Amino acid sequence: MRYIEPHAHMVSRTTDDYEAMITAGCAAVCEPAFWAGFDRSGVQGFYDYFCQLTDYEPKRAAKYALPHFCWLCINPKESEDMVLADEVLSIIPYFLDRPTVLGIGEIGLNKNTRNELKVLERHIDLAAKHDQLILVHTPHLEDKLKGTKLIVDALKADSRIKPERVIIDHVEEHTVDLVLDAGFWAGITLYPESKVNAARAVDIIEHADVHRIWMNSACDWGHSVPLAVPRAAAELRKRGHSAEAIDGLIFGNPQRFLGQSPRFKTA
């Protein structure tokens, strides 16, 4: 089995996880910029983080022969402070030329506030100006439905944005159609509690247009499972899906989306 982990916060994981992932067949890992679990004290904290994502982490992954790519942004959880957000937005272009940067992400909304929405629009503008792919985080739990609708509207309001170059992540049963019907890609995040488990992911896949769906673990510093994608593949097999169909979902689909960046490659 081979698979791509298109969304994982590896800076929060140990090398044991890299070892387990390559043993399970991981052929590339992509890491969106993320909230650290605490608010960074200023733009310098983001500068260091972007250096870590674009320089140190690819080297760490390379020791396991695993290509590592990243996405850059200020996470919506830190977007309430507009002054900080603008400072971070201003340094992102300096990193966009680095060889493993795939695009802008994971941008989006957290509590669906006006400031978060403004910062989202500025990220969309930055992505459009620099012709970058976009990876979007949708809010959690009770905020997801409203946030997904606001995000879809913000993306559609910018005529420069091509939906096939945008993935909207963390969809669930009540948001997957909103995303796919608008022409975007949809990410299913496999999480032990707060998002979708493997059985529900297979349910969604069996009832949606699978050509624009990927699955990811979004593993981070919280309760999460770095091998969630291969485990979902096992669930697909139990449910009678062919090896070819499973390969299409866990390798072919993410490769097709990420391959829109000439930088992306697999091991």
55 or 173: CB nearest other proteins: 173
Among 54, 112, 217, 224, binds other proteins (CB under 8 A): 112
Among 100, 110, 37, residue whose Cα is nearest residue 70: 100
Read off the DSSP letter of residue 211.
Answer: G
When CB distances are held under 5 to 8 angstroms depending on the partner's kind, the choice from other proteins, Zn ion, none that residue 199 binds is: other proteins
Interface segment toward Zn ion; rule CB under 5 A; list 54-62, 109-117, 193-201, 211-219: 211-219
Q: Rounded CA gap, 74 and 159, in Å?
A: 23
Q: Rounded CA gap, 260 and 92, in Å?
A: 20
When CB distances are held under 5 to 8 angstroms depending on the partner's kind, the choice from other proteins, Zn ion, none that residue 149 binds is: other proteins
Q: Rounded CA gap, 213 and 175, in Å?
A: 13
Residue closest to Zn ion, measured at CB: 218
Applying CB under 5 A, does 218 fall inside the site for Zn ion?
Answer: yes
Are the beta carbons of 105 and 170 closer than 8 angstroms?
no
Are the beta carbons of 139 and 109 closer than 8 angstroms?
yes
CB 229: neighbour CB atoms within 10 A? Answer: 32
CB 121: neighbour CB atoms within 10 A? Answer: 15
When CB distances are held under 5 to 8 angstroms depending on the partner's kind, the choice from Zn ion, other proteins, none that residue 144 binds is: other proteins
Applying CB under 8 A, does 113 fall inside the site for other proteins?
Answer: yes
Ramachandran region of residue 166, left (φ > 0), alpha (ψ -120 to 50) or beta? beta
When CB distances are held under 5 to 8 angstroms depending on the partner's kind, the choice from other proteins, Zn ion, none that residue 218 binds is: Zn ion
Applying CB under 8 A, does 110 fall inside the site for other proteins?
Answer: yes
Q: Report, in Å, the least distance between residue 82 CB and Zn ion.
A: 22
Read off the DSSP letter of residue 140.
Answer: P
143 or 247: CB nearest other proteins: 143
Applying CB under 8 A, does 77 fall inside the site for other proteins?
Answer: yes
Interacting residues with other proteins (CB under 8 A): 77, 80, 110-117, 139-146, 149-150, 172-174, 199-200, 203, 238-240
Interacting residues with Zn ion (CB under 5 A): 218
